[in-house]
């Protein structure tokens, strides 16, 4: 999933590079790699220069029965010095907040809980509903963190790392309790060297291959 798009350019590099264009290029390269493998299918949330609201992204992933949601971005800072890639996952606080809301509305939102959704919706046993939903949430969070760790191990082979461990943040695009989700910052577009690299087709391919592996 390519970050930003349309009226939302994302971050802009010193030489005028738009994050939305870099992320789309990397995402399309990643999708091609995934589609070449038997049993795998990539679904692009956007395939052109248009904006998709953050709240719609997990819904679109769910409609396409996604097993994993990957959001591709390029970082930025007010100083040109920071550099390196990082991988973000949903913070425990945000995940617990979403969980509380979901349980309160379990009659309407049971589809967010995967295979146990119908049981959670229909059971009159609140403790059972809570336990099943909590197990799903914990599995999703653990899977997200595990995948993020693997991605960092591969990314460090092709670029510098800004954060060596997955970082938990409260982000709307990562809030799905039923789909393991990560946001990958592929580098700092505000750093002159990384801006050049992020616009390089060969470097984009290296990043895509690292994520694919």
Angstrom distance (rounded) from CA 17 to CA 21 = 8
Task: Report pLDDT for 110.
Answer: 47
Task: Report pLDDT for 172.
Answer: 79
Task: Decide: 148 and 68 in contact? Cβ < 8 Å.
Answer: no
Task: Report pLDDT for 136.
Answer: 78
Angstrom distance (rounded) from CA 150 to CA 156 = 10
3 state SS for the chain:
CECCECCECCCECCCCCEHHHHHHHHHHHHHHHHHCCCCCCCCCCCCCCCCCCCCHHHHHHHHCCCCCEEEEEEECCCCCCCCCEEEEEECHHHHHHHHHHHHHCHHHHHHHHHHHHHHHHHCCCHHHHHHHHHHHHHHHHHHHHHHHHHHHHHHCCCCCECCCCCEEECCHHHCCCCCCEEEEEEEECCCHHHHHHHCCHHHHHHHHHHHHC
Task: Report pLDDT for 98.
Answer: 62
Q: Per DSSP, what are the bridge partners of residue 90?
A: 169
Task: Decide: 89 and 166 in contact? Cβ < 8 Å.
Answer: yes
Whole-model pTM: value is 0.87
Task: Decide: 87 and 148 in contact? Cβ < 8 Å.
Answer: yes
Task: Report pLDDT for 107.
Answer: 47
Owner of token pair 């590099």: 13
CA angle 193, 48, 161 (to 5 degrees): 30
Task: Report pLDDT for 121.
Answer: 64
Task: Report pLDDT for 176.
Answer: 82
Report, as ranges of residue numbers, the positions in the chain whose pLDDT lies below 50.
106-107, 110
Task: Report pLDDT for 108.
Answer: 52
């Amino acid at each position: 999933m390519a970050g930003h798009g349309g009226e939302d350019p994302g971050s802009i590099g010193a030489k005028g590079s738009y994050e939305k264009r870099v992320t789309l290029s990397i995402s399309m390269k990643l999708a091609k790699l995934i589609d070449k493998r038997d049993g795998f299918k990539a679904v692009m949330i956007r395939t052109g220069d248009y904006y998709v609201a953050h709240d719609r992204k997990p819904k679109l992933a769910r409609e396409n029965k996604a097993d994993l949601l990957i959001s591709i971005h390029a970082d930025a800072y007010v100083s040109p010095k920071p550099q390196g890639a990082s991988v973000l996952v949903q913070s425990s606080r945000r995940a617990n907040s979403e969980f509380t809301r979901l349980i309160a509305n379990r009659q309407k939102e049971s589809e967010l809980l995967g295979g146990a959704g119908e049981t959670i919706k229909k059971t009159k046993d609140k403790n059972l509903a809570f336990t099943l939903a909590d197990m799903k949430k914990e599995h999703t969070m653990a899977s997200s963190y595990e995948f993020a760790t693997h991605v960092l191990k591969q990314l460090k082979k092709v670029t510098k790392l800004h954060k060596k461990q997955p970082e938990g943040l409260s982000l709307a695009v990562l809030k799905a309790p039923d789909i393991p989700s990560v946001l990958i910052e592929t580098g700092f577009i505000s750093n002159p060297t990384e801006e050049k690299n992020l616009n390089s087709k060969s470097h984009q391919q290296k990043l895509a291959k690292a994520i694919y592996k």
